[in-house]
A and B are shown apart, each in its own frame.
Chain A
């Protein structure tokens, strides 16, 4: 008798369906860039004397709350449970990826301290080049893609790296003498960790897992690692005093984490539908959005020299061109068949039902009846909302020069992307 896992994935997905999934993935990549970049805004207004590790920990608490409540809101936790029953081994991968994220994020703090954002940012942005490498080596991405697509993806990623370098130099800070090497190593280390973190991402999505399920366990690794790091570096009592002393700004940090999760969710869908070789560079456009917030809303770079403005304009154009090149190099039917081979390999190795993997690759639900919201979902939603309201009630807006008109304009642009991409995801895949 034939095993469930031997159900063939080899028959190609219809070309029209493939095109709409690829377009959706590209859209998600751009939406991810906007929301990941926008997450910097609430953090920028926090100018109190809080240590970077504590800032990171509080953000991760907001991230944790968002990562459990958003899936509950969209499809319900019963959907997550039924997804995990199909591929339980992916919990380990999700937790592992979360641990990697937390360590990389902490490393960036050291990198910024030692060499400044100007050098550190482009260095850790090399994660997209590593993502392309792992995607090609382990998951058959860009196989049989043709030289034009190779040129589009690799050339686009290199152009984005160049653009990122120019943008970062425009918002430069000074390196601490004698610490430059350490800072460069820290930034590269963060890039390697983030770039390798995409292996679990791709693994999960090739095996059929839903991004909503992946992130709920990803965040367990994130919060556990960040808590251990904060406790060991700060100590429990000093950490507690620091958090208590910063009560008035905790909301903004947690809100930054919440916004970040929305961006990351789009990034996960991009990784699922266009692969890590394309999804990761596209979501790296977050640097452009961060700059937009900085210049328009927070009046950064005001009174800068002509050279600075030239770097900003040149860097932005390069990044945008790189992103467009990648967006136009979506996978062909032949390349997608290679992805299906990789998915079949995963399915066989972990005895995942072929129909489940196939349904996921086509952006369909495997089981129709498992997304009903339960009492636990509503409890989660009300609980998280109540926590955010409580912290908002304690919050004070620090004295920062903010252009509210531009803040509203950029926020509306982000919301439009959220609604547009959300509707598209629902119509095309029902968030599967």
Chain B
């Protein structure tokens, strides 16, 4: 099967104080999709829709080729899901959880699970209740990874982890991707992680997708252009400017469609043209989007 791992088309979900609307999302096999948005943007709701835990009010969702939520039982055999609000049973040990997963999932890879226990520095005999936040996250990830699902859906997988633990976990994600038949969808507000390991990125804000693109395109298209205008000089009309801040003679422009021709267009007053980090792009993008929608 070479189809897409996730497809969402025109999905809507209404709540009393919040609406998720016109949601389109696609994930190809062999890719990592980073799903980025502020708190309350609708990230977790989207992931729950993909997992069939809630049903959409409109639109179509397919996971590994299966319609969701109707065929979720078949799809989920090959999907691993981890979210921060999932809790292990407090009075059971990690080892008990591992045995439990093994008894449900025939694909459970005991050897890999043992390797992960060592790599994540966990103890199978420890009760879930006494795990630190970071250990709890790593234990949950272990239980999902060792099933070797084709699709991993991770809600804020690196939140609450210290830098070393984050590095361990991210290495493990990249290891999964050595197999081009597997894929990962993960939500985060840690843009540094997303920038590093994602192949494509989707920004969401206030229940709407702001932009979806492959990562290299994102980083290539956005630029900050710093201009110094001598008194009397005027900036020519420029296309694709999404932000403009003027401070005396100094003007900072933000563009989302940079091309080499732009430097010549701005003229001789350009002081600097800078690339932007994903975080800067994200903030500029969300601000521009909110302005355009009059919010």
| Chain A bound to chain B | no
